[in-house]
Structure 1
Amino acid sequence: MVPSLFLAHGSPMLAIEDNEYTQFLASIGQNIKPKAIVIFTAHWESDITTISFTDEVYETIYDFYGFPDELYAIKYPAKGSKEIATMIKDRFPKQGIKVRMNMTRGLDHGSWTLLSRIYPKADIPVIQLSVNPYLPAEEQFKIGQSLRGLGEEEILVIGSGVTVHNLRAVKWEQTTPEPWAVEFDNWLIDKVQQMDLDSLFKWEHLAPHARLAVPRAEHFVPLFIAMGSGDSQTKAQVIYRGYEFGTLSYLCLQF
Structure 2
Amino acid sequence: MKKQPALFISHGSPMMAIAESKTSLFLQKLGKSLVRPKAIIMFSAHFDRANDIVITAGENPTTIHDFYGFPAPLYNIQYNAPGSPGLAKKIAKRFEQVGLHPILDEQQGWDHGLWIPLRLMLPTADIPIVQVSINSALGADANYEYGKLMASLRDENILIIGSGNVTHNLAEFSRPSVGSEKRVKAFTKWVNEKVSSAQIESLIDYMNAAPDALFNHPTQEHFLPFIAALGASETGKGELIHQDIEHGILAMDAYRFE
Structure-1-length-normalised TM-score: 0.93
**Is the contact made by 2:7 and 2:161 (CA closer than 8 Å) also made in structure 1?**
yes
1:118 Cα deviation after fit: 0.7
Q: Which residue of 1 aligns with 2:110?
A: 107
**Is the contact made by 2:22 and 2:244 (CA closer than 8 Å) also made in structure 1?**
no
1:48 to 46, 49, 52: 52
1:125 Cα deviation after fit: 0.6
1:201 Cα deviation after fit: 2.5
Letter in 2 for 1:252: A
2:248 to 246, 249, 255: 246
Q: Which residue of 2 aligns with 1:90?
A: 93
Cα RMSD (Å) of the superposition? 1.8
Cα separation, 1, equivalents of 2:230 and 2:110: 22
Q: Percent identity?
A: 37
2:211 to 208, 213, 216: 208
Structure 1 unmatched ranges of 5 or more: none
What SS does structure 2 have at the residue aligned with 1:21?
A: helix
Q: Is residue 2:179 matched to residue 1:165?
A: no
What SS does structure 2 have at the residue aligned with 1:37?
A: strand
Q: Is residue 2:151 matched to residue 1:148?
A: yes
1:63 to 43, 66, 71: 66
**Is the contact made by 2:176 and 2:249 (CA closer than 8 Å) also made in structure 1?**
no
Cα separation, 2, equivalents of 1:97 and 1:115: 29
Cα separation, 1, equivalents of 2:63 and 2:210: 36
1:15 to 6, 10, 17: 17
What SS does structure 2 have at the residue aligned with 1:134?
A: coil
Q: Which residue of 1 aligns with 2:28?
A: 26
1:70 Cα deviation after fit: 1.1
Letter in 2 for 1:44: F
Alignment deviations for residues 188-245 of structure 1 (CA, whole Å, 9 cap, x no partner): 111122221222222112211111001000111111100111242x730001110111
Cα separation, 2, equivalents of 1:68 and 1:198: 42
**Is the contact made by 2:148 and 2:234 (CA closer than 8 Å) also made in structure 1?**
no
Q: Which residue of 2 aligns with 1:117?
A: 120
Cα separation, 2, equivalents of 1:20 and 1:200: 26
TM superposition outliers: structure 1 runs of 4+ over 2 Å: 93-98, 171-174
In the alignment of these two chains, the number of paired residues is 252
1:171 Cα deviation after fit: 5.6
**Is the contact made by 2:58 and 2:108 (CA closer than 8 Å) also made in structure 1?**
no
1:186 Cα deviation after fit: 0.7
**Is the contact made by 1:12 and 1:113 (CA closer than 8 Å) also made in structure 2?**
yes
Structure-2-length-normalised TM-score: 0.92
1:172 Cα deviation after fit: 7.3
Cα separation, 2, equivalents of 1:25 and 1:177: 26
What SS does structure 2 have at the residue aligned with 1:130?
A: coil
Cα separation, 2, equivalents of 1:250 and 1:188: 13
The 1:179/1:100 distance shift into structure 2, 3 A limit, reads: same
Cα separation, 2, equivalents of 1:129 and 1:243: 28
1:22 Cα deviation after fit: 1.1
